[in-house]
Amino acid sequence: MRRSFTVEEANRMLPLVRRIVSDAVRDYWRWQDIVHEFEVAALRNSPDDPDESAEQLQREATRLAQEIDGYIGELKELGVMFKGFDAGLVDFPGEIDGRPVFLCWQLGEESVKHWHEEDAGFIGRQPLPELLVS
């Protein structure tokens, strides 16, 4: 059974979620850069002339990927759904008027102030009703 958050509970958890999402997004972009550098180094690599930097870059990319997986796992353990690296988007399962919805937050926002239907995604994002915003 999934956890259901009120807006107040989601906002209380937000400082921790913000730190985890910030780390995940930061490391994701670092990972992207390292993978690109590895691809370039791998092109220079040959059995007769191995490029040691390719191996080092591959190890670093693997380490960062494991870190990112750890961040996503932490969010999952908290009951929060990570939705994307581009915007640092997360959904908190919740309810409005007795129906299940997602309370929606993205990196850079000060608090949870949006929601969307479970099947709508970010495109269906809308402001929370005033009486739910703390």
Residue 36 has pLDDT above 60, yes or no: yes
Sheet holding 99-106, edge to edge: 81-84, 89-96, 99-106, 114-117, 126-127
Predicted confidence band of residue 134 (pLDDT cuts 50, 70, 90): low
Residue 17 has pLDDT above 90, yes or no: yes
In this prediction, residues 60-82 reach a mean pLDDT of: 96
Q: Does residue 128 contact residue 113 with C-beta atoms inside 8 Å?
A: yes
Instruction: Return the DSSP state at 110.
Output: S
Angle among Cα 88, 22, 103 to the nearest 5 degrees reads: 45
Predicted confidence band of residue 123 (pLDDT cuts 50, 70, 90): confident
